[in-house]
Amino acid sequence: MWVHGMGFPKSHDIAKAIDKSNGSWRGRSTDKSTEKNRAMQGANYVRVPKGEPICSHAHQWNGWGTALKPGWEPVLVCRKPIAAGMTVAGNVVEHGCGALNIDGCRIPMGAEYDPTKIQRQQRANGSVQFGSSGLIGTEIPTYNANGRWPANVVHDGSEEVVRLMPDDGNGSTARFFYCAKADATDRDEGCESLPLRDAGALTGNVDGSLRDDRLQRRNNHPTVKPNDLMRWLCRLVTPPGGTVLDPFMGSGSTGKAAIAEGFRFVGIDLSTGFCDIAAARIGSAHNLFNA
């Protein structure tokens, strides 16, 4: 689970949509996006002052939408079922994948790291032995110097998310990998020669909730993933020198991360527009990390 506080609700205004279906477009006379949509739809559209809904059905649905603000995204880690009679170890040896790179994805320790703290334990017949002075046996470090065991929660470090994580004085965020959402540099790196497009224009969405004609970007994919997060996830499951396959490539965030980690990459997407963006971003990463 990648928890973030910067999600933007991509919701469709129901009342506005009802007005639009009845031939009325709410907008200011100087609103360029209104003029553009009015021109696209033809002369049947009548511009009215921006504000309250127009028709009676629209008034009934004023304030209603189609989506909640996104606060987290799922990360699914899967593998094919292990064949009968095959062990996990045998499966990994045979196919070269199917395990998690724990040490390569450990979370750096926070202020709680103390290399002098040790545990003493010894297991015999599945039990822990105690002596007159307490627990006896082999001394092992309390903390791993390479960092914490990675958790199944990732967060973006935003204030509203961190507030949900109790702090015991050792820094609550140190327990999890954290990565903010993709910024403009991450999103558009390598796309400098591509044309500006309306945000969400390549999604083919039906209700219009992902599209914003007022915003133009060179990489106009609606859900660009941050490079640091995708590098961590690629590293978690891919053996050294391995190949990462993304059958839903989008704007190439996974490919960009795979190249940065030294992996090969194969990407597939239905949209030729997104393939062009992905090729530019991945090519830039290849030039940067293989110079």
User: Given pLDDT bands bounded at 50, 70 and 90, which one contains residue 144?
Assistant: confident
Q: Would the CA dihedral through 278, 281, 284, 285 be positive or negative?
A: negative
- Interval 239-273: pLDDT, tens: 999 999 999 999 999 999 999 999 999 999 999 99
- Interval 91-120: pLDDT, tens: 999 888 999 999 999 988 766 666 666 665
User: Given pLDDT bands bounded at 50, 70 and 90, which one contains residue 43?
Assistant: very low
- C-alpha closest to that of 226 among 268, 184, 191, 163: 184
Judged by average pLDDT, the poorest of 4-18, 70-84, 264-278 is 4-18
Q: Per-domain residue ranges for the chain?
A: 7-66, 106-178, 182-291
Judged by average pLDDT, the poorest of 15-19, 136-140, 287-291 is 136-140
Task: Judge whether 217 and 188 are in contact, CB under 8 Å.
Answer: yes
Strands of 37-122, DSSP E: 46-48, 72-73, 118-121
Write phi, then psi, for 12 (nearest 5 degrees): -95, 125
Residue 199 confidence (pLDDT) above 90: no
User: Given pLDDT bands bounded at 50, 70 and 90, which one contains residue 176?
Assistant: confident
pTM: 0.73
Judged by average pLDDT, the poorest of 56-60, 130-134, 177-181 is 130-134
